[in-house]
């Protein structure tokens, strides 16, 4: 009913929790299990602290270029929480909180952004694809994974993300259209963080909402306050249930705000107005969730402090592990090209040994 | 004359040509307001307005495909693909349409556009930011593929590319965007497409390279000359059409040939050049013409990149191997 009652063509945006942490849409609010709420909150904080420290490590020269998720934790955590553990995640590159929620060791994420492919080796028990840099192509992969369930008889769903800029790519349309045609159980989530590097949404499309692009493909589509974990959780849950019961894909535009740079190689102060920045920062998902949890007695300031300290400890431990393991042996650059090294590659590998590398 | 680095020389070429030719329109992702992520188009929107230099939506196929339409109707689009690694969604438009409209329409419609993009490794970049795909593009009839290695050529070749009546892919070795400065004439001048440059004359061996390989070759050759080996260096400058004559003449003189490229080895430009040497100068050869290249693997991320990259040590070793063959 959430999708039905929030037609993006009518300019509706689904929100339950406002930016101060007050429930503003009682009709759709339901209690979420206290442990699950705390799990979501903790994961948001963990991702935030990881990003904050990663920025410092990068400035210290201990990490390379990376793309912080700062500000977008809410929509990611809530959409993951609305799924089962064995459902699939097909991420975009700015998906830190979702990866963490899904169980990807933080060490992997650090390794990846330190320029080591081993970070992309997802543990076998996690149904998730690694980070890819090309924009938009993941939508078709998600559709394909969803299509495969029909043959493998799995009752899983796929959640995939894209940025606002990514919705201008051809594969965005191809992916949602194809999924619609074959009724693939995929939840397409647009993380509308307002910018594709320096290009604002207004230069990206003439459409009033990004969600309405899903209408053209004939799939249920909605625009949601992406920094409101309740709205994201319940909207995704409805989409997931719909997909799992055989009714095909849905599209969610999650409105959020990229608090940091596109990547550490970018300087947002060149193109972002102070006014827009302050407005974006005022809608922070973590602050409003914290206010809610404290007001309801689910969290105390003391718990909050403990969570932050634990998260910081985890970040340091995982980064230390990554730094210790951050070696790419020569063989690694050859051995994953094919299942077996071809004669040509064996020859080149022998030649390369002469140079040692690095 | 003015001392400029590669990116400044590029910016000057674009600026001067835009001033001269109102048909030039520049666009690409972040190419307008911000002037591109590498600032190649910096200041052009402020100077020429949003109609002539603008941020496109995130759509490589759209950028190249619309560029084809613009060019067909008499405009001169100079398009930016932010990184070579993002070209692939636009490759359908570039190879299937950009390269073919002249032939398809028997000369009625032409596509005089320029597609610029940074390429190549060595800057510890992310996935799909470090490949060198000149061979893939040069393999397509109808395209011209240009790679400058210094500020003088960057400006002159870009001006030639803009004036060229056919689609030109302008690959920019991003590793050396700001690596050094060179005196560049203030006025508009052309460096012809399709002509290699003898960078240094020598008698014992010909070493050919382009883009970011040129400084590596120069470093190697400095050491080799101290050891008494006389090297002729050719900067190819244009991958397609290739300057066969320059290669032929040089190898006839030196009798030895080494091509150095950072792209993967197999089916690459190195193989093409060696074929030319075999066809044109076989009887002059003292040893087999040889290539020193990247390996046939996905370009590693930063931590493994050192295993992959060409460096002066590798070049010196290969040259000595050929001299002592």
- Shared-domain flag, residues A157 and A270: yes
CA pair distance B225, B304, nearest whole angstrom: 31
- Shared-domain flag, residues A148 and A279: yes
> Does residue A1 belong to any structural domain of this protein?
no
Are the beta carbons of A203 and B57 separated by less than 8 Å? yes
Identify the bridge partners of residue B261 per DSSP, sorted by sequence position: B293
Which residue out of A42, A48, A94, A262 is catalytically annotated? A262
> Does residue A3 belong to any structural domain of this protein?
no
> Does residue A53 belong to any structural domain of this protein?
yes
Q: Please give the sequence-ordered ranges of beta strands (E in DSSP) within chain B, or none if there are none.
A: 2-4, 24-28, 53-55, 76-80, 114-119, 144-146, 168-173, 182-184, 197-200, 205-209, 231-235, 238-240, 257-264, 290-294
Are the beta carbons of A116 and B303 separated by less than 8 Å? yes
Q: What CATH number should be reported for the domain holding residue A152?
A: 3.40.50.970
CB atoms within 10 A of CB A358: 12
Are the beta carbons of B304 and A333 separated by less than 8 Å? yes
Instruction: Indicate the DSSP class of residue A203.
Output: G
- Shared-domain flag, residues A265 and A286: yes
Q: What is the pLDDT of residues A194-223, one digit of tens each?
A: 999 999 999 999 999 999 999 999 999 999
> Does residue A294 belong to any structural domain of this protein?
yes
- Shared-domain flag, residues A301 and A337: no
Are the beta carbons of A204 and B57 separated by less than 8 Å? yes
Q: What is the pLDDT of residues B8-57, one digit of tens each?
A: 999 999 999 999 999 999 999 999 999 999 999 999 999 999 999 999 99
Q: From first to last of the 358 residues of chain A, give the pLDDT tens digit.
A: 999 999 999 999 999 999 999 999 999 999 999 999 999 999 999 999 999 999 999 999 999 999 999 999 999 999 999 999 999 999 999 999 999 999 999 999 999 999 999 999 999 999 999 988 999 999 999 999 999 999 999 999 999 999 999 999 999 999 999 999 999 999 999 999 999 999 999 999 999 999 999 999 999 999 999 999 999 999 999 999 999 999 999 999 999 999 999 999 999 999 999 999 999 999 999 999 999 999 999 999 999 999 999 999 999 999 999 999 999 999 999 999 999 999 999 999 999 999 875 4
Query: What is residue B252's predicted lDDT score, i.e. its pLDDT?
Result: 98
Q: Does A64 touch chain B (CB under 8 A)?
A: yes
- Shared-domain flag, residues A225 and A354: no
> Does residue A94 belong to any structural domain of this protein?
yes
**Which residues of chain A lie closer than 8 angstroms to B265, CB-CB?**
348
Which residue out of B129, B139, B261, B307 is catalytically annotated? B129
Which of A134, A196, A333 is facing B307, going by the closest CB pair? A333
- Shared-domain flag, residues A163 and A268: yes
**Average of pLDDT values for B141-152?**
98
Is A258 a residue of the active site?
yes
Sheet order of strands, A221-225 included: A88-90, A158-163, A186-192, A250-255, A221-225
- What string of DSSP letters covers A96-125? HHHHHHHT--HHHHHHHHTT-GGGG---TT
Residue of A nearest to B36 (CA): A198
Which residue out of A6, A94, A258, A288 is catalytically annotated? A258
B98: closest CA among B160, B56, B140, B161?
Answer: B140
- Shared-domain flag, residues A293 and A358: no
CA pair distance B182, B93, nearest whole angstrom: 36
- Shared-domain flag, residues A37 and A128: yes
- Shared-domain flag, residues A228 and A291: yes
Place of tokens 């009518």: A10
- Shared-domain flag, residues A227 and A356: no
- Shared-domain flag, residues A160 and A309: yes
Shortest Cα distance, chain A CAs vs residue B215, angstroms: 19
Total domains in the fold of chain A: 2
**Cα end-to-end span (Å), chain B:** 45
Residue of A nearest to B87 (CA): A134
Does residue A326 contact residue A118 with C-beta atoms inside 8 Å?
A: no
Q: Does A323 touch chain B (CB under 8 A)?
A: no
Which residue out of A244, A271, A277, A349 is catalytically annotated? A271
Are the beta carbons of A355 and B314 separated by less than 8 Å? yes
Query: What is residue A357's predicted lDDT score, i.e. its pLDDT?
Result: 53
**Average of pLDDT values for B265-294?**
98
Q: Which helix (H) or strand (E) holds A90?
A: strand A88-90
Beta-carbon-side half-sphere exposure of residue A172 (alpha carbons within 13 Å): 28
Q: Which token pair is B121?
A: 């490794």
Q: Say whether pLDDT at B167 is over 60.
A: yes
**Which residues of chain A lie closer than 8 angstroms to B57, CB-CB?**
165, 168, 199, 203-205
Q: Note which residues in 190-209 of chain A have CB less than 8 A from chain B.
A: 196-199, 203-205
Q: Which token pair is B301?
A: 């991320």
Residue of B nearest to A326 (CA): B303
% helix, strand, coil for chain A, step of 5:
50, 10, 40
Give the residue from A137, A167, A333 with the most B CB atoms within 10 Å of its CB, the best one to mutate: A333
> Does residue A101 belong to any structural domain of this protein?
yes
User: Range of A346's domain?
Assistant: 329-358
Q: Does A173 touch chain B (CB under 8 A)?
A: no
CA pair distance B150, B235, nearest whole angstrom: 10
**Which residues of chain B lie closer than 8 angstroms to A270, CB-CB?**
34
- Shared-domain flag, residues A346 and A221: no
Query: What is residue B127's predicted lDDT score, i.e. its pLDDT?
Result: 86
Beta-strand pair A250-255/A221-225: parallel
Is A271 a residue of the active site?
yes
**Which residues of chain B lie closer than 8 angstroms to A165, CB-CB?**
29, 57-58
> Does residue A218 belong to any structural domain of this protein?
yes
3-state secondary structure (DSSP) of residue A333: helix
> Does residue A2 belong to any structural domain of this protein?
no
């Amino acid at each position: 009913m959430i999708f039905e009652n929030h037609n993006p063509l009518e300019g509706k945006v689904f929100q339950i929790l406002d930016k101060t942490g007050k429930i503003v849409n009682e009709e759709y609010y339901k209690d979420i299990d206290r442990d699950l709420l705390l799990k979501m909150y903790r994961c948001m904080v963990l991702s935030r602290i990881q990003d904050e420290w990663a920025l410092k490590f990068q400035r210290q020269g201990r990490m390379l270029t990376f793309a912080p998720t700062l500000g977008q934790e809410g929509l990611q955590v809530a959409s993951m929480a609305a799924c089962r553990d064995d459902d699939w995640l097909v991420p975009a590159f700015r998906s830190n909180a979702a990866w963490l929620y899904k169980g990807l060791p933080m060490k992997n994420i650090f390794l990846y952004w330190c320029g080591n492919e081993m970070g992309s080796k997802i543990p076998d028990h996690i149904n998730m694809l690694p980070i890819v840099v090309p924009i938009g192509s993941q939508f078709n992969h998600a559709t394909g994974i969803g299509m495969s369930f029909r043959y493998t008889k799995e009752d899983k769903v796929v959640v995939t993300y894209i940025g606002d800029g990514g919705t201008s790519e051809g594969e965005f349309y191809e992916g949602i259209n194809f999924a619609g045609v074959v009724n693939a159980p995929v939840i397409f989530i647009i993380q509308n963080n307002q910018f594709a590097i320096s290009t604002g949404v207004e230069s990206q499309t003439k459409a009033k909402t990004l969600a309405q692009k899903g209408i053209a493909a004939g799939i249920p589509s909605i625009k949601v306050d992406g920094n409101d974990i309740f709205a994201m959780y319940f909207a995704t849950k409805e989409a997931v249930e719909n997909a799992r019961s055989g009714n095909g894909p849905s599209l969610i535009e999650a409105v959020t705000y990229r608090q940091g740079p596109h990547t550490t190689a970018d300087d947002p102060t060149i193109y972002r107005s102070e006014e827009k920045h302050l407005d974006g920062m005022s809608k922070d998902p973590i602050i409003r969730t914290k206010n809610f949890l404290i007001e309801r007695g689910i969290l105390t300031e003391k718990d909050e402090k403990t969570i932050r300290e634990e998260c910081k400890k985890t970040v340091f431990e995982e980064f230390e592990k990554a730094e210790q393991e951050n070696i790419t042996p020569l063989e690694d650059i050859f051995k994953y090209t094919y299942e077996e090294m071809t004669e040509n590659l064996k020859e080149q590998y022998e030649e390369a040994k002469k140079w040692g590398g690095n | 004359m003015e001392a400029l680095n590669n990116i400044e020389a590029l910016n000057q070429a674009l600026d001067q040509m835009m001033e001269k030719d109102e048909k030039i329109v520049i666009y690409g992702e972040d190419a307008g307001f911000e002037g591109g992520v590498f600032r190649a188009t910096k200041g052009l929107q402020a100077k020429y307005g949003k109609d002539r230099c603008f941020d496109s939506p995130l759509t490589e196929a759209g950028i190249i495909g619309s560029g084809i339409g613009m060019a067909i109707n008499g405009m001169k689009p100079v398009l930016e693909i932010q990184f070579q690694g993002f070209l692939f969604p636009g490759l359908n438009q570039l190879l299937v349409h950009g390269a073919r409209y002249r032939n398809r329409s028997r000369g009625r419609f032409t596509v005089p556009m320029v597609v610029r993009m940074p390429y190549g490794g060595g800057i510890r970049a992310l996935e799909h930011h470090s490949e060198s795909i000149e061979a893939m593009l040069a393999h397509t009839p109808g395209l011209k593929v240009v790679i400058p290695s210094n500020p003088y050529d960057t400006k002159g070749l870009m001006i030639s590319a803009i004036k060229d009546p056919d689609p030109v892919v302008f690959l920019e070795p991003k590793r050396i965007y700001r690596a050094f400065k060179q005196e560049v004439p203030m006025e508009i001048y052309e460096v012809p497409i399709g002509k290699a440059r003898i960078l240094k004359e020598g008698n014992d061996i010909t070493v050919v390279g382009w883009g970011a390989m040129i400084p590596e070759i120069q470093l190697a050759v400095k050491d080799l000359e101290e050891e008494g080996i006389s090297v002729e260096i050719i900067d190819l400058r244009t991958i397609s059409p290739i300057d066969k004559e320059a290669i032929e003449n040089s190898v006839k003189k030196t009798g030895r040939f080494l091509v150095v490229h950072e792209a993967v080895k197999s089916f690459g430009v190195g193989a093409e050049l060696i074929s030319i040497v075999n066809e044109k100068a076989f009887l002059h050869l003292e040893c087999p013409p040889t290539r020193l290249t990247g390996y046939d693997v996905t370009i590693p991320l930063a931590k493994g990149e050192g295993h992959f990259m060409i460096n002066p040590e590798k070049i010196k070793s290969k040259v000595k191997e050929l001299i002592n063959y």
